[in-house]
Amino acid sequence: MSSSKARYDFASPLDADGAQFGDALVDGIMASRAFRRLKGVRFLGGIDYVLVRSPNGSRTRYSRYEHSVGVAYLAALHADLRDLTPDERRLSCAAALLHDIGHAPLSHSLEPVFVEHFGLGHHKATEEIIYGRAAIGREISDLIRQHDVDADRLVALIGGEDDRFDGFFAGPINFDTIEGILRTHSYVRSSVATPDPQAVVRAAVRRADDVDRQLVDAFWSFKHLVYAQLINAELGVLADAACQQSMRDHIASFTRDDYFTDEAAAFRKMPGLRELLVRRDFRDEAADRVGRSIAFRRRSFFIDEEADFFLRQDRCRYKQNKTDQILKIGDDHRSQPTNVIRDLFDEDGISA
């Protein structure tokens, strides 16, 4: 696999369909059943079904699979830029590829209900797969052992508990967020072109001049834009609320094992949800079902110019605010707002 190309392709982050990374462990993970399951988990969860039937008018629908391959691609690019050893490159790319392996069907949209009823969120699910405690993960666990990779180091990297690799797993400017935010921006109608994730990674590694600083700062501004126009927007909040309400209504049909299935299986247990999400009158119909007053957490992102970009003071420079708010949709006659839990980019780190 070439770790550098003219323009990043969100639909096919590798050079072509069927391309591989050239590493036995990483390519084995890509071929595993647990990783291929992510093809059936939409990237944005419930809102993915509500938006224009496919992003940007194309027929492409993004999944956690393409996103995870893209994150691993950026890790491979970083490995080349830093001339990492083969073992360090393998560890970084494997962690990047596995970072979303523990996402449930409809991702963040259903995960809070799985946590409520089964004590299972994506951090614990990731560990169960990597350590082979979940049946679907035994293939990956065997691969990790066969290639003498420390599973504990993998889990620490994925969980943001390890600062190595220039903080690209643990810091605010990380492979996952760079790929995910810029992928999400491709869903937003905007006159501003989506930056190339490769360029952001190069600038964040190099930090040579104001051009690099401006590019990384611009990425953080795009994060604020994506949250303001999509994730914190009315349809985004409603989509998550509708998904969580539907799962609670049909919780008797679910078991813990359903966490490790895909969205086709999940929709069969929540009749009517998919049809609701794709309705052209989704806003009003969903509001009638979940309530026209919804409590949620709004995030905004800003840059503290006092923190030095060139000294890599990223945790102090790239900041966020969180405020609890209530979204009101038309007239509401309920005394208490519906509460929705949502964490698209693991900003809070739901764990169980």
5-20 pLDDT, tens digit per residue, is 678 999 899 865 556 7
**Domain map of the chain by residue range?**
24-339
CA distances from 336 to 241, 308, 325 (A): 14, 45, 13
Average pLDDT of the chain, as a whole number: 91
Task: Report the pLDDT value the prediction gives residue 349, as an integer from 0 to 100.
Answer: 46
pLDDT in tens, 199-231: 999 999 999 999 999 999 999 999 999 999 999
Average pLDDT of span 247-262: 98
Residue located via tokens 């760079």: 178
pLDDT digits (tens, 9 = 90+) for 261-282: 999 999 999 999 999 999 999 9
CB 314 within 8 A of CB 228: no
Weakest mean pLDDT among 55-64, 108-117, 167-176, 306-315: 55-64
pTM for the model stands at 0.92
Q: Could you read off the pLDDT of 281-291 as tens digits, one per residue?
A: 999 999 999 98
pLDDT at 152: 98
3-class SS string, the chain = CCCCCCCCCCCCCCCCCCCCCCCHHHHHHHHCHHHHHHHHCECCCHHHHHCCCCHHHCCCCCEHHHHHHHHHHHHHHHHHHCCCCHHHHHHHHHHHHHCCCCCCCCHHHCHHHHHHHHCCCHHHHHHHHHCCCCHHHHHHHHHHHHCCCCHHHHHHHHCCCCCCHHHCCCCCCCHHHHHHHHHHHCCCCCCCCCCCHHHHHHHHHHCCCHHHHHHHHHHHHHHHHHHHHHHCCHHHHHHHHHHHHHHHHCHHHCCHHHHHCCHHHHHHHCCCHHHHHCCCCHHHHHHHHHCCEEEEEEEEEEECCCCCCCCCCHHHHEEEEEEEEEEECCCCCCCCCEECCCCCCCCCCCCC
Count how many Cα atoms sit within 13 Å of the Cα of residue 213 in the half-sphere of its side chain: 14
pLDDT of 315 > 70? The answer is yes
The confidence score (pLDDT) of residue 6 equals 77
Instruction: Give yes or no for residue 70 having a pLDDT over 50.
Output: yes
The pLDDT value recorded for residue 304 is 98
Residue 53 has pLDDT above 60, yes or no: no
CA torsion 100-102-105-111 (nearest 10°) is -100
The CATH class that applies to domain 24-339 reads: mainly alpha
Mean pLDDT computed over 135-154: 98
Mean pLDDT across 25-39? 97
Assess whether pLDDT exceeds 60 at residue 169. yes
Q: How confident is the model at residue 340 (pLDDT cuts 50, 70, 90)?
A: low
